[in-house]
Structure 1
Amino acid sequence: MATIVQFQHVYKSFGDHEALKNIDITFQEGETTVILGPSGSGKSTLLRCINLLEQPERGQLTIAGTTIQLDKPIVKKDKLAIRQSTAMVFQSFNLFPHMKVLENVIEGPVTVLKQSRAQAVEKGKTLLHKVGLEHKMDSYPSQLSGGQQQRVAIARALAMEPQFLLFDEPTSALDPELEGEVLRVLQDLAEEDKSMIIVTHNLNFARRVADRILFLENGEILFDGTTDAFFEHNNNERIQAFIQAMQLY
């Protein structure tokens, strides 16, 4: 049975501001979904609700067979199950500055997944090779460029063997050349049919890698469909205006 992430009738507010309004969405295993929309539309909030970095007030969340009623207290066991099914990559890298690159990658597998250090090191080296950074495994984060740090963060997320990878504006802190390094890694993962949900502002990247596009505005889903339908056959005036504005960005 395929693994899914599913929201049913999900609402999330911050004070008087409704960030998400009655979200009904299912993300499929093996699919790359890109979430687009203007600033403040709820993109990052939706992503952070998937692994409960933000807890909605109402609705239901299902991941990998674990279903949570979000208007009730969440027991530790269920929260752990949700978080072990997902791994988040942030725009700010969030590497441990006092640990070398390889140590950053193996920390989670050793302490959380209880892998042997030897097993974690072997896999960590493989993942660093995958993102083009095996030669940097003994460096500290401060010795890396921003693009290299973000690629280490991706390797660290992959090391946790999540069913879904979540990316929150993973290149927004990078200049265009370094952004390209990271986007190439994400494109390789998409071609391997990794299950990914990506919030980004980069329309060219979205067009290349997404199986599916979500467009959010004012906390609601304005579009949910194929990449081709979004970019080539979309008659929604608001979305057309967004695409034109972002192409000038």
Structure 2
Amino acid sequence: MRNLGMLSAWIGLVLATSALAAEMSEERKRLIGQIQAEVLATAGELGFARLSPAVEAALLKVERHAFVPAPRRDLAYLNSPLPIGSGQTISQPYIVAIMSQLLGVGPGDKVFELGTGSGYQAAILAAMGVEVYTVEIVPELAEQASKTLASLGYDRVHVRSGDGWQGWPEAAPFDGIIVTAAAPRIPQPLVDQLAADGRLVIPMGAPDRIQQLALFSKDEHGALVRENLLPVRFVPVTGAMGQ
């Protein structure tokens, strides 16, 4: 009887886990629909009217709730930023989606990320087949993101604690660079580490004002061509870059 009781409990746990996974999958599908609607509404500024199949597939695969602190996990599939501690946030899914698409990267490419945060943006890129090198200045966040990413099997993401101002020179050049906090300027090391024809996506502006999401493309002569896309609000970058 005891074995039957244990078996029944195990079956109940499996069924409950499966039901929760199915519910979360439906939540992600609803979220993708909301993001698609917002992309369409901002198509004139973005230059595209739909998410690419690769970005959409990544959003469906990556479990955003795993990157949200437990007390706010029920809010994980709202299309909004959420606090993750240490004055930082997990970005709005719409912003994560469009920044991922603007990078123009795919399987086999390398991306440097300044500002790991929760690790969600890195997971989206890894789900697209990208090798991600990401630096987080808050040690506690870097440690937590590394653990979360490892537990979910994202072995294409390399996490380092430190100031992302210097990039990750030993892994350069990068096909794309993404900065997930507002900065007044682009640090020269990141410019140097961006490959020819690479793209850099960064919110630019003062922390107490509306910033501009900017896309920089590197031409064959090494010069950056800037395109301002959307008004955004990001937490400010810290460390040397923010000084």
Normalising to structure 2: TM-score of the pair? 0.28
Higher helix share goes to which structure? 2
Looking at both structures, which has the greater relative contact order when contacts are Cα pairs under 8 Å and sequence separation is at least 6? 1
